[in-house]
Structure formats: C-alpha cells, structure tokens
Amino acid sequence: MKIIMLGAPGAGKGTQAKMIAEQYAIPHISTGDIFRANIKNGTDLGMEAKKYMDQGLLVPDELTVRILLDRVAKDDCRDGYVLDGFPRTIPQAQVLDKALEEIEDKIDFAIDVDVPDENIIKRMGGRRSCSKCGAIYHLEYIPPETEGICDGCQGELVLRDDDKPETVKNRLDVYHKQTQPLIDFYEKKGILKTVDGTQNMKDVFAAIVAILG
C-alpha cells in the first residue's frame, strides 16, 4: 500500500502519516524529518535545505528527489510506505510516477487532510520542537509534561522559525500556488481521497482507516 499525504503545512498530515505507518506496519517517510536530520548534522545538503526552510520556501526539486527515490527503493518499502512532504509540486509528482512505472509500481492513495488557513496559523503558532531530538509538541493539543522541556530527552522546546505566524503565511501562499494543484492531479488519476482535518486527531485517523480499509 503506497500512500501520499497531502494538505497544507500544519494540517496534521505528518501525525496522521505516523499513525497510518504504525497501523499498517509500513515506513513513514517524511522529507521534513530527513531535511532536519541533515540540518542537525550540518551536512551540505542540510545547510542548502535550511536556507529555503528558514524563509518558509519549498526545498527545490533536485534536493528532494535525490533523497526520496533512493529511500523508497530500500527493502523495508516493499510492502508499501507513507510519503509525507513529497511530492510538493506537479513536476515532482511526475518524476515519482515515472520512477514507479519503471519498476512496475504506482501510488495507491493520495489522502488530502483539508484544513482552512486560519486554523493552520493558530495551530502552528502553538507548536514547539525539541532542540535536541526534534520531537514536536503543541501547547494546546500535545503539551509536554513539563513546560518548555521535552518528555523524552529533556531538551529545550523552541518555536521554530518556520512555525512563526509571518513564515506560516508565506508557506501557505507558496502551498496554494505550488502544491495545491496536486489535488487536481491526483483527482484526475482517480486516487484522491479527502478528509476533514478540522476534526480531532482520532476522528481524522478513523476517517482515513475507513478509506484504506
């Protein structure tokens, strides 16, 4: 089962992707996690990606494609995977389709977690990330046990630059111009499924499970 998660930044698709991966025992592949790992380790790729992410811009195709195609070719992806954060543009979707066709494979579902912009700006302003391990919390929805401290590694929780309201608005503008056309792209292919992302996390997941079966 090969699944693509769609939705604006902050719509909750990453959380849902992790839950899907656990439910169906398939890898959760997040380009965002891969980029952040590279940034934390100070790699050339990470530093290049950081320039774009700090401005709320999308990482260019050539950086993203290089990472992803190698990842889905690994053995643990044989039974499927959940892609979170890729593709972001029509050209990326076309590159992915072509690569999968070459190995006689295809994406089974594109799930759009639909949330209005105003909800997203409020959500992301409350997000906090661990400066050590990268774990993500939310002041309202997933608060840490101790304010400002990661439950796992005791690292400091911070508001990332790309979660600040002005950056979120910029990211949403970019999303509507570049990424939202993917909804039409996958609808034409007959694999798009839309869920109401304004519901609580468990209800959104239940709706996705009902789609996947």
Give the DSSP H or E segment for 4. strand 2-6
For the annotated catalytic residues, the residue numbers are: 13, 88, 127, 160, 171
Neighbours of 206 (CB within 10 A): 12
Q: How many residues does the chain have?
A: 213
**What tokens appear for 90 in the block?**
């029509």
- Alpha-carbon span 68 to 66, nearest angstrom: 6
Cis-peptide into 87, omega within 30 deg: yes
φ/ψ of residue 26, rounded to 5: -130, 155
